Copies of this chain bind each other. A is one copy, B any other.
Amino acid sequence: MNSGMTLGRVREAQQRIEGLINRTPLMRSRSLSSLTSGEIFFKCENLQRAGVFKARGAFNAVYSLSDSELARGVVTSSSGNQAAALALAAKSRGIAAYIAMPRVALKSKVNAVQRYGGNIVWVESKGAVPTSEEYEATAADIQGRTGASPVHPYNDLRTIAGQGTCALEIIDEQPDLDIVLAPVGGGGLLAGVSVVARALSPRTRVIGCEPEMADDAYRSFQAGAIVPQLNPRTIADGLRTSLGDLTFALIASNVDEIVTVSEAAILSAMRLVWEVLKVIIEPSSAVPVAAVLEKKVSVAGKSVAIILSGGNVDLDNLPWGTAALPSPAR
Protein backbone atom coordinates (compact mmCIF):
# COMPACT_ATOMS: atom_id res chain seq x y z
CA MET A 1 0.00 0.00 0.00
CA ASN A 2 1.35 3.38 -0.97
CA SER A 3 0.23 5.61 1.84
CA GLY A 4 1.68 8.79 0.35
CA MET A 5 3.66 9.28 3.52
CA THR A 6 7.25 10.37 2.86
CA LEU A 7 10.22 11.96 4.57
CA GLY A 8 9.54 15.02 2.40
CA ARG A 9 6.15 15.49 4.04
CA VAL A 10 7.75 15.38 7.48
CA ARG A 11 10.33 17.95 6.46
CA GLU A 12 7.57 20.22 5.15
CA ALA A 13 5.75 19.81 8.43
CA GLN A 14 8.90 20.74 10.31
CA GLN A 15 9.21 24.00 8.39
CA ARG A 16 5.51 24.73 8.80
CA ILE A 17 5.47 24.35 12.59
CA GLU A 18 8.91 25.72 13.41
CA GLY A 19 8.62 28.37 16.10
CA LEU A 20 5.04 27.32 16.82
CA ILE A 21 5.94 24.20 18.76
CA ASN A 22 8.80 23.57 21.18
CA ARG A 23 12.01 21.90 20.15
CA THR A 24 12.05 19.65 23.19
CA PRO A 25 15.24 18.57 24.96
CA LEU A 26 16.82 15.16 24.34
CA MET A 27 18.25 14.40 27.76
CA ARG A 28 20.76 11.71 28.61
CA SER A 29 20.09 10.03 31.92
CA ARG A 30 23.15 8.93 33.86
CA SER A 31 21.02 6.96 36.30
CA LEU A 32 19.04 5.03 33.72
CA SER A 33 22.13 4.48 31.59
CA SER A 34 23.94 3.06 34.58
CA LEU A 35 20.94 0.95 35.61
CA THR A 36 20.53 -0.59 32.15
CA SER A 37 24.17 -0.63 30.94
CA GLY A 38 22.96 1.23 27.86
CA GLU A 39 23.23 4.85 26.83
CA ILE A 40 19.71 6.11 27.42
CA PHE A 41 18.31 9.37 26.06
CA PHE A 42 14.83 10.72 26.70
CA LYS A 43 13.05 12.87 24.14
CA CYS A 44 10.91 15.04 26.40
CA GLU A 45 7.66 15.51 24.53
CA ASN A 46 6.04 15.92 27.93
CA LEU A 47 7.65 19.37 27.75
CA GLN A 48 5.97 19.98 24.37
CA ARG A 49 3.20 22.58 24.06
CA ALA A 50 -0.06 21.29 25.55
CA GLY A 51 2.18 18.78 27.37
CA VAL A 52 2.16 16.21 24.58
CA PHE A 53 3.69 15.32 21.19
CA LYS A 54 0.26 15.72 19.62
CA ALA A 55 0.86 19.47 19.38
CA ARG A 56 3.15 18.67 16.44
CA GLY A 57 0.47 16.99 14.34
CA ALA A 58 -2.25 19.40 15.41
CA PHE A 59 -0.23 22.48 14.47
CA ASN A 60 0.78 20.88 11.18
CA ALA A 61 -2.84 20.13 10.32
CA VAL A 62 -4.17 23.56 11.32
CA TYR A 63 -1.41 25.42 9.50
CA SER A 64 -2.04 23.29 6.38
CA LEU A 65 -5.63 24.52 5.98
CA SER A 66 -6.74 26.66 3.05
CA ASP A 67 -8.29 30.07 3.68
CA SER A 68 -11.80 28.79 3.07
CA GLU A 69 -11.23 25.89 5.46
CA LEU A 70 -9.82 28.22 8.10
CA ALA A 71 -13.05 30.21 8.19
CA ARG A 72 -15.03 27.14 9.27
CA GLY A 73 -12.65 25.79 11.90
CA VAL A 74 -11.60 22.24 12.79
CA VAL A 75 -13.23 19.31 14.52
CA THR A 76 -11.84 16.23 16.25
CA SER A 77 -12.97 13.63 18.73
CA SER A 78 -10.77 12.81 21.70
CA SER A 79 -10.93 12.12 25.39
CA GLY A 80 -7.80 14.02 26.10
CA ASN A 81 -4.52 14.97 24.53
CA GLN A 82 -5.66 15.43 20.94
CA ALA A 83 -8.48 17.61 22.23
CA ALA A 84 -6.11 19.97 24.03
CA ALA A 85 -3.50 19.98 21.26
CA LEU A 86 -5.99 20.81 18.52
CA ALA A 87 -7.70 23.47 20.63
CA LEU A 88 -4.31 25.10 21.24
CA ALA A 89 -3.30 24.98 17.57
CA ALA A 90 -6.66 26.46 16.53
CA LYS A 91 -6.37 29.21 19.14
CA SER A 92 -2.88 29.98 17.88
CA ARG A 93 -4.28 30.49 14.39
CA GLY A 94 -7.41 32.29 15.61
CA ILE A 95 -9.92 29.72 14.32
CA ALA A 96 -12.65 27.67 15.96
CA ALA A 97 -12.02 24.16 17.29
CA TYR A 98 -14.92 21.79 18.00
CA ILE A 99 -14.02 18.85 20.20
CA ALA A 100 -16.22 15.79 20.64
CA MET A 101 -15.36 14.62 24.17
CA PRO A 102 -16.78 11.88 26.38
CA ARG A 103 -18.43 12.94 29.63
CA VAL A 104 -15.96 10.68 31.45
CA ALA A 105 -12.94 12.71 30.28
CA LEU A 106 -10.55 13.72 33.07
CA LYS A 107 -11.34 17.10 34.54
CA SER A 108 -7.76 18.23 33.91
CA LYS A 109 -8.14 17.46 30.18
CA VAL A 110 -11.51 19.24 29.99
CA ASN A 111 -9.95 22.24 31.73
CA ALA A 112 -7.08 22.31 29.23
CA VAL A 113 -9.48 22.35 26.26
CA GLN A 114 -11.50 25.14 27.85
CA ARG A 115 -8.35 27.13 28.69
CA TYR A 116 -7.41 26.97 25.00
CA GLY A 117 -10.86 28.16 23.98
CA GLY A 118 -12.06 24.88 22.41
CA ASN A 119 -15.78 24.27 21.95
CA ILE A 120 -16.61 21.01 23.69
CA VAL A 121 -19.48 18.88 22.40
CA TRP A 122 -20.27 15.94 24.70
CA VAL A 123 -20.49 12.54 23.06
CA GLU A 124 -23.66 10.76 24.18
CA SER A 125 -23.02 7.12 24.86
CA LYS A 126 -24.99 4.03 25.79
CA GLY A 127 -22.00 2.56 27.65
CA ALA A 128 -19.64 3.99 30.23
CA VAL A 129 -17.21 5.02 27.50
CA PRO A 130 -18.29 6.00 23.96
CA THR A 131 -17.55 3.61 21.13
CA SER A 132 -15.66 4.72 18.02
CA GLU A 133 -19.02 4.86 16.23
CA GLU A 134 -20.50 7.15 18.87
CA TYR A 135 -17.47 9.45 18.67
CA GLU A 136 -17.68 9.55 14.91
CA ALA A 137 -21.41 10.23 14.88
CA THR A 138 -20.89 13.26 17.10
CA ALA A 139 -17.97 14.52 15.02
CA ALA A 140 -19.99 14.03 11.82
CA ASP A 141 -22.89 15.95 13.31
CA ILE A 142 -20.61 18.88 14.21
CA GLN A 143 -19.10 18.78 10.75
CA GLY A 144 -22.55 18.86 9.17
CA ARG A 145 -23.61 21.86 11.24
CA THR A 146 -20.41 23.91 11.00
CA GLY A 147 -18.50 22.77 7.94
CA ALA A 148 -15.44 22.37 10.17
CA SER A 149 -12.53 20.33 8.77
CA PRO A 150 -11.95 17.04 10.55
CA VAL A 151 -8.46 16.47 11.93
CA HIS A 152 -8.05 12.85 12.90
CA PRO A 153 -5.90 12.21 16.00
CA TYR A 154 -3.73 9.69 14.15
CA ASN A 155 -5.17 8.36 10.90
CA ASP A 156 -4.37 11.53 8.93
CA LEU A 157 -1.25 12.25 6.87
CA ARG A 158 -0.95 15.79 8.29
CA THR A 159 -1.05 14.39 11.80
CA ILE A 160 1.44 11.61 11.09
CA ALA A 161 3.85 13.99 9.32
CA GLY A 162 3.70 16.36 12.29
CA GLN A 163 4.45 13.62 14.80
CA GLY A 164 7.37 12.51 12.62
CA THR A 165 9.13 15.84 13.23
CA CYS A 166 9.94 14.52 16.67
CA ALA A 167 12.24 11.96 15.06
CA LEU A 168 13.93 14.60 12.90
CA GLU A 169 14.96 16.40 16.09
CA ILE A 170 16.16 13.19 17.75
CA ILE A 171 18.30 12.11 14.79
CA ASP A 172 19.66 15.62 14.36
CA GLU A 173 21.10 15.43 17.89
CA GLN A 174 21.96 11.72 18.02
CA PRO A 175 22.49 10.41 14.49
CA ASP A 176 23.90 7.03 15.50
CA LEU A 177 21.18 5.52 17.63
CA ASP A 178 20.81 1.78 17.83
CA ILE A 179 17.18 1.89 18.97
CA VAL A 180 14.26 4.32 19.11
CA LEU A 181 11.34 3.41 21.36
CA ALA A 182 7.90 4.99 21.13
CA PRO A 183 4.56 4.13 22.69
CA VAL A 184 1.79 3.05 20.32
CA GLY A 185 -1.91 3.77 20.69
CA GLY A 186 -3.53 4.93 17.45
CA GLY A 187 -0.06 4.77 15.94
CA GLY A 188 0.45 8.34 14.70
CA LEU A 189 3.67 8.91 16.62
CA LEU A 190 5.14 5.48 15.89
CA ALA A 191 4.23 5.69 12.20
CA GLY A 192 5.74 9.15 11.77
CA VAL A 193 8.89 8.25 13.67
CA SER A 194 9.34 5.01 11.73
CA VAL A 195 9.13 6.75 8.35
CA VAL A 196 11.84 9.20 9.38
CA ALA A 197 14.12 6.58 10.92
CA ARG A 198 13.88 4.27 7.89
CA ALA A 199 14.82 7.11 5.57
CA LEU A 200 17.58 8.78 7.59
CA SER A 201 19.02 6.05 9.79
CA PRO A 202 18.22 2.61 8.36
CA ARG A 203 20.29 0.75 10.96
CA THR A 204 18.28 2.20 13.87
CA ARG A 205 15.73 -0.31 15.15
CA VAL A 206 12.29 1.27 15.67
CA ILE A 207 10.32 -0.48 18.38
CA GLY A 208 6.72 0.23 19.36
CA CYS A 209 5.75 -0.32 23.00
CA GLU A 210 2.24 -1.13 24.12
CA PRO A 211 0.40 -2.17 27.28
CA GLU A 212 -0.43 -5.89 27.44
CA MET A 213 -3.94 -4.79 28.34
CA ALA A 214 -4.35 -2.89 25.05
CA ASP A 215 -2.18 -4.89 22.67
CA ASP A 216 -4.01 -4.40 19.39
CA ALA A 217 -0.92 -3.03 17.64
CA TYR A 218 1.11 -6.05 18.73
CA ARG A 219 -1.58 -8.43 17.51
CA SER A 220 -2.14 -6.49 14.29
CA PHE A 221 1.61 -6.43 13.61
CA GLN A 222 1.81 -10.21 14.10
CA ALA A 223 -1.34 -10.93 12.07
CA GLY A 224 -0.49 -8.58 9.21
CA ALA A 225 -3.96 -7.05 9.43
CA ILE A 226 -5.73 -4.69 11.80
CA VAL A 227 -7.05 -6.41 14.91
CA PRO A 228 -9.21 -3.83 16.69
CA GLN A 229 -8.83 -3.29 20.43
CA LEU A 230 -11.80 -4.47 22.47
CA ASN A 231 -12.21 -3.45 26.08
CA PRO A 232 -8.75 -1.95 26.74
CA ARG A 233 -8.03 -2.16 30.47
CA THR A 234 -4.88 -0.13 30.92
CA ILE A 235 -3.88 2.84 33.03
CA ALA A 236 -2.16 4.23 29.92
CA ASP A 237 -5.19 6.23 28.82
CA GLY A 238 -3.47 7.55 25.70
CA LEU A 239 -2.93 4.04 24.34
CA ARG A 240 -6.42 2.58 24.46
CA THR A 241 -7.23 3.30 20.82
CA SER A 242 -6.74 0.95 17.88
CA LEU A 243 -4.55 1.49 14.84
CA GLY A 244 -6.05 3.11 11.75
CA ASP A 245 -5.48 1.87 8.22
CA LEU A 246 -2.85 4.53 7.45
CA THR A 247 -0.90 4.06 10.66
CA PHE A 248 -1.12 0.28 10.40
CA ALA A 249 0.30 0.28 6.87
CA LEU A 250 3.21 2.50 7.84
CA ILE A 251 3.96 0.58 11.02
CA ALA A 252 3.77 -2.76 9.22
CA SER A 253 6.34 -1.68 6.67
CA ASN A 254 8.70 0.46 8.77
CA VAL A 255 8.69 -0.78 12.38
CA ASP A 256 11.03 -3.57 13.47
CA GLU A 257 9.18 -4.90 16.48
CA ILE A 258 6.32 -4.28 18.88
CA VAL A 259 6.65 -5.33 22.52
CA THR A 260 4.11 -5.29 25.33
CA VAL A 261 4.44 -4.55 29.06
CA SER A 262 2.41 -5.22 32.19
CA GLU A 263 0.40 -2.65 34.12
CA ALA A 264 2.66 -3.06 37.16
CA ALA A 265 5.72 -2.36 35.02
CA ILE A 266 4.09 0.78 33.60
CA LEU A 267 3.40 2.12 37.08
CA SER A 268 6.86 1.45 38.44
CA ALA A 269 8.50 2.93 35.35
CA MET A 270 6.34 6.05 35.73
CA ARG A 271 7.32 6.39 39.35
CA LEU A 272 11.00 5.89 38.52
CA VAL A 273 10.96 8.64 35.90
CA TRP A 274 9.31 11.06 38.33
CA GLU A 275 11.81 10.22 41.06
CA VAL A 276 15.00 10.03 39.06
CA LEU A 277 14.49 12.27 36.04
CA LYS A 278 12.32 14.81 37.91
CA VAL A 279 9.97 15.23 34.99
CA ILE A 280 6.25 14.58 35.02
CA ILE A 281 5.12 11.91 32.61
CA GLU A 282 1.72 10.35 32.07
CA PRO A 283 1.32 6.56 32.13
CA SER A 284 1.49 6.27 28.31
CA SER A 285 5.01 7.73 28.40
CA ALA A 286 6.09 5.13 30.92
CA VAL A 287 5.32 2.25 28.55
CA PRO A 288 8.61 2.32 26.57
CA VAL A 289 10.53 2.95 29.80
CA ALA A 290 8.88 -0.16 31.23
CA ALA A 291 9.89 -2.13 28.14
CA VAL A 292 13.52 -1.33 28.88
CA LEU A 293 13.30 -1.92 32.63
CA GLU A 294 11.45 -5.22 32.12
CA LYS A 295 14.10 -6.20 29.54
CA LYS A 296 11.50 -6.66 26.81
CA VAL A 297 14.07 -4.75 24.78
CA SER A 298 17.75 -5.44 25.35
CA VAL A 299 19.67 -2.17 25.60
CA ALA A 300 23.00 -3.19 27.14
CA GLY A 301 25.81 -1.54 25.23
CA LYS A 302 23.34 0.22 22.96
CA SER A 303 22.49 3.85 22.31
CA VAL A 304 18.75 4.27 22.83
CA ALA A 305 16.22 7.11 22.54
CA ILE A 306 12.96 6.74 24.44
CA ILE A 307 10.16 9.14 23.52
CA LEU A 308 8.38 10.43 26.62
CA SER A 309 5.17 11.19 24.80
CA GLY A 310 3.31 13.39 27.27
CA GLY A 311 2.98 14.75 30.79
CA ASN A 312 -0.72 15.34 31.32
CA VAL A 313 -1.83 13.79 34.59
CA ASP A 314 -4.33 14.66 37.27
CA LEU A 315 -2.10 15.73 40.16
CA ASP A 316 -4.92 15.17 42.63
CA ASN A 317 -5.25 11.53 41.62
CA LEU A 318 -1.82 10.05 41.26
CA PRO A 319 -1.62 6.28 40.84
CA TRP A 320 0.44 5.61 43.94
CA GLY A 321 0.53 6.21 47.65
CA THR A 322 -2.47 4.91 49.55
CA ALA A 323 -4.33 4.24 46.32
CA ALA A 324 -1.73 1.76 45.01
CA LEU A 325 -2.89 0.25 41.73
CA PRO A 326 -5.84 2.07 40.23
CA SER A 327 -8.83 0.07 39.09
CA PRO A 328 -8.60 -0.58 35.38
CA ALA A 329 -10.67 1.47 32.96
CA ARG A 330 -13.94 -0.10 32.00
Chain A residues with CB under 8 Å of chain B are 22, 25, 27, 30, 46-47, 49, 51, 271, 274-275, 277-281, 311, 315-316, 318, 320-321
B311 engages A278 (CB within 8 Å): yes
The count of identical subunits is 2
| A272 CB, min distance to chain B CBs, angstroms | 11
- Closest chain-B Cβ to A56's Cβ sits at a distance in Å of 15
A315 touches B47 (CB 8 A): no
Tell me the minimal C-beta distance from A43 to chain B in angstroms.
13
CA distance in complex: A51, B275 (Å): 9
Q: Are A278 and B30 in contact (CB under 8 A)?
A: no
B27 touches A47 (CB 8 A): yes
A51 touches B315 (CB 8 A): no
5 A–B pairs (Cβ distance < 8 Å), ordered by A:
A47-B277, A278-B280, A279-B279, A316-B320, A316-B321
- Tell which of B25, B30, B279 touches A49, judged by Cβ atoms closer than 8 Å: B30
Chain B residues lying within 8 Å of A30, measured Cβ to Cβ, are: 22, 49
Complex: chain B residue closest to A277, CB-CB: B47
A315 touches B280 (CB 8 A): no
Q: How far is the CA of A27 from the CA of B22 in the complex (A)?
A: 10
Q: Within the assembled complex, what's the spacing in Å between the Cα atoms of A279 and B271?
A: 13
On chain B, the residues within 8 Å of A320 by CB distance are 315-316
A284 → B minimal CB distance (Å): 14
- A275 to B108 CA separation, bound complex (whole angstroms): 10
Give the distance to chain B from A162, nearest Cβ to Cβ, in Å: 18
> In the assembled complex, how far is the CB of residue A92 from the closest CB belonging to chain B, in whole angstroms?
10
Q: Specify which chain B residues have a CB less than 8 angstroms from the CB of A281 in the assembled complex.
A: 278
